[in-house]
Every structure is written in structure tokens, then in C-alpha cells.
Amino acid sequence: MSISQVKKYKDLIRTQHCHYHFEYLEQSWNLPYSFLTAEGILLVMFLFPEFFCLLSFLALASLAIPIANDKLERNEKRSPQNVYPQGASDAVVLDIPTATAVPPPGASGGLYGDESLLGYDGNPVSGSAVVEDYELVPGQSADPVEGLELDFTEVKRPQPIRGTSGKSGATDHGPDTSRYDRDNSDVFASPGTDTGGVDQFQWPMGLSHNRLGLDRSGWARQQNAANLPAATEMAGVDMRLSPNAYRELHWHSAGEWGYVFNGSIRVALVNEAGQSYIDDINAGDIWYFPPGVPHSIQAFEQGAEFLLVFDDGFFSEDSTSLVTEMFLRNPRSVIAKDLQTDISNLDNIPKDQLYIFPGTPPPKDISEQNTTGPAGTTSQPNQQYTFHWSQQEPLTIPNAGTLKIVDPTTFPAAADISAALVTLQPGAMRELHWHPHSDEWNFFLTGRARITIFAAPASSQTFDYGPGDVGYIPMVFSHYIENIGDDEVVFLEMLKAPRFEDISAGQWLGLTPRQVVKDTLNLPDEVLDNLPKYKPYLISGPTNLTDTNYTKPF
């Protein structure tokens, strides 16, 4: 037997099941199979240990060759064979093709190089990646761990540099991505405190596919887990309706929370009890439609744009159940029977879904459309599907901004959605905090902001946000939201929770025994004296973002 054969047999023996070995011993040595049970083997091991060792050696030696040969024969039978065209030979098929495409008339040069280009060619190195005459903005030479905001908006070619030592970066020769870098300075030139691996938590609606309505009646674009995979709990849709346009009669598998950006709309629904509901809402107002409850949305004469937030990150606006599709996907006879009408009355139903389409002006008097049945209209607080949030006065924090909250404690119909509308003055920030019971979904309406997301045990990343951007922060990940521009930042802070709750980092430290905080963080007494016992929510700051003295009033 050759060495190569021994190796093959040895490898194959290692892969064989013991039961296969026992069957072979039974057939080859005429041993009763019961003798080869676990009990029989143990008996032999204890009574005749030397015999057992010899028996094992002989068994392995005798079964190696037939088992291996059998295995090889079966492998050869299963080995796939090359299939060639009829009449072709192996030599023809294995030849390396030499034919190339014919270039168009007038073309010069060639598509491929020749063998002389392979490997070392002895030529001296050439070319340069040096960037000269680049511009640094205020704060870019500071210590990277200070993480000062960098304003690249007026810089032709921003450079990913922070400080001169540590994680300080280097110049960027190209390709030129400055159209993104100007809006994402904390991603391009990240603070020195950013480290480790953090998921992508920012998505601009401007990169979402915009689905257009019929005859300039509107459009819709969405964010969900398909384009922001980390956002598993909530998804959003930015929708525009032209004057008098409709969002077609429909229903969803997820709950729908809506916020009107501008304009006004009329919403109507019928719940599972057969009760009807209708209301007119304006900019700043909200609504909630439970899963499976059919509804309609129509803009008034000035049109409207609004945000839809769904309590399922995998929700897709394209999977909405539309009334037109329901009519088109059922036999006409069934639809006619269901409506108790002659089938000819269905001749003019739409040939395709309408989705967003032009409509006739709604009557000013809402009572003209207030259709009720035997069950009447909704009357219980948890059946009031709109909330006139625009009329709620916010909490105002001097020099910092405003904050107002709506959750099921005041809007019971929205059983699992809580929201805050936050306004930040330039230089101000939403305090460092986290949410103990829910992920956070953000939508930015105005201004420029940044968020650093800390993911335990030792990772963080800073993201930049502007109007139309979606932010997402997983449950218990600490974060802040800081205004880094010259204008107010306005954003929605959404939770999938029955109550709006957060943990304030400052209040936590302020209410923890002073000795514990001091021994842990080595903070001086002046800092410990200033730790808040209350929840700050919003904190004012200098409009000059390179100013790091935060003890003076702003």
C-alpha cells in the first residue's frame, strides 16, 4: 500500500460512524451484533484489557481498506462530470479564449494590456498624494478629544484633520466627496472620542426614492429598515398632497402616527365597532390610526405635507392595503354581490391603484361629510384619533429652547407612541440622556444638529443631521442632541412606549451620593456643587462653538 493510499484511508476512517464499523465487524468476523453493544464492549474492556486493545487494533486495520475502497468508489460515482457540447473535445473546451470584442470605428488604443505589464518593471516610483494650500477651520487644530464642532460649509475642500497628535487624521487628496463632507463634518473629521464600531444611525430622506402621485397630486418617500437597518422598531414616511388631493382609502398592518408639517387636512376613519370619526387638523396637529383601521386623508385648498411614523421598523408604504387593489384583486361577481348591485355598475372602477390622486374640494362644513351608522360616532377618549397639539403651550427653558410632550397619558388612542417636539436655540443642546424602555426615532425639521451615540462597552460615533434627516438611537444608548448651526433646530423625538420617559445623566449624578461620584470620576468640588437635582431637558450654550467655558451665562 502506498503512502498516499494510507493517508486517504486514514482520513476516511476518521469520518466513519462507529455504527458503520460495528456492522462491518459483524459481517466480516461473524460476531453477534449484540456482542458489539456498549455493554458488551465495556465487559471486554474490564475483563480482558490487553485483548481489547489487540481487538481494536485488528478491527481498525481490517476495516480500513474495504471501507476506504467502498468510499472512494461511491465518491467516484458521485463526482460531477464535465458536460461538453456534442462533438466538442476536452482540448477545445479547455483552451483559453483569445477572441476579444471589436472596438467601435474610430476608437484608438486597446482594451487589454500585454504580459510585459506583469510584476516588477524596474521603473522609478512617481506621482504624489500631497495636498498643498488646504484650509483649516476654527477648532480644527484643537485637541481631538475636545470634539469641537467644525463648520465646513464655506470650505472648498474640507480636510479630515483634528489636532496634531493622537487620532488626528491626514489630508484628503481625493476622490472629492466634499458635497457630503460639508454636511457631515463629524463623520468626515470625527472627534477624538469616537471609537469602536457603531451602526449607521442617520438617514437623509433626500436619498429615499420618491414615489410620485398622479397628475402632480403629490408624492411620498420613506425610511425603514431597508435603508437604515438598525431602525427595527419604527419607520417614517414624508408625504405631500397637492391642493384637494387624496391619499387613497387604505389601511395598514402597523399603527400610523401622523404630524402635519404645513397646510391642513381632513381625516376620516371607521373602526372595528362600525363607529365613524372625522376631523380637520392643521400644522402642528397629530393623529393616530390603529393597525387595520381603514381611513382616508385629503388636503384642503392650500395642500399639505406631513410625517407618518409607523410602529414597525420593517413597515413599507408600498405594502399598504388599498381599496382600489381590493376591488381589482377580487372577482367582479364577488364585489357586486358584496355591494348588492348589478355587475355592470363596476365597469368604471379604476384600472389601477390610485395611491395619491387629485380630488374635488372638500366642503368647508365638516358636518356635510359626517356620515354615521347605527353604532354612531366614536365617543370614548381612547377613540379620539386626533390631537390638536399645535394648541399646546410648550415648556420654555430660557436661552435653550422649548419642549412639549404628547403620549398616551394625554392622547390615549396612540397606545404605544410617545413624542416630544423640541426646539433648540443656537448653541443649546438636549441634555445627555438615554431611554430605558424604548428606541428613539428622530426627524429633523429645521437647523443643523449633531448626536454622539455611546454603545456599551466602549464604542461611540458622532453623526450630523439637517432638515429631512432621520436619526435612530437604540434603547439605553446614551446621547445628546446639540445645535451646531446659526438657526433654531426643531426635531421630533419619537418613542415606541406608553409614556415618554428618559434618564438624565446630570440628574443621575446629582442624586447619587457625592462621595461615590467624586471617587469614581475625580471631579472637582465646583463641578459636584453644580450637579442638578432636577432634570434639565435642555441646556444653553455659546453660539461660538469653539468657546469651551460653559460656566458663564449664555
Binding residues: 250, 252, 256, 295, 433, 435, 440, 479
Residues 6 or more apart whose Cβ sits within 8 Å of residue 370: 276, 278, 377
Alpha-carbon dihedral sign for residues 271, 275, 281, 286: negative
User: In 7-97, at which residue ranges do the beta strands (DSSP E only) sit?
Assistant: none
**Residues 24, 63: contact at Cβ < 8 Å?**
yes
Q: Is the CB of residue 433 less than 8 Å from the CB of residue 506?
A: no
431 catalytic? Reply is no
Q: Which residues contact 129 (CB under 8 A, 6 or more apart)?
A: 173
What is the Cα Rg of the chain in Å? 36
* DSSP at 391: G
Torsion of CA 153, 154, 158, 162, to 10 degrees: -80
Instruction: Report which of 419, 391, 395 is spatially closest to residue 288, judged by C-alpha positions.
Output: 419
Closest CA to 436 of 495, 513, 506: 495
Q: How far apart are CA 351 and CA 354, in angstroms?
A: 9
Active-site hit among 50, 272, 493, 526:
493
Element (DSSP H or E) covering residue 4: helix 3-15
Q: Residues at the annotated binding site for Mn(2+)? A: 250, 252, 256, 295, 433, 435, 440, 479
Burial 73-97 (b: 16+ CB within 10 A, else e): eeeeeeeeeeeeeeeeeeeeeeeee
Residue 47 burial class via C-beta count within 10 angstroms: exposed 0-12, middle 13-18, buried 19 and up: exposed
Which cell numbers hold the place of 259? 404630524
Torsion of CA 96, 98, 103, 106, to 10 degrees: 150
Catalytic residue list: 493
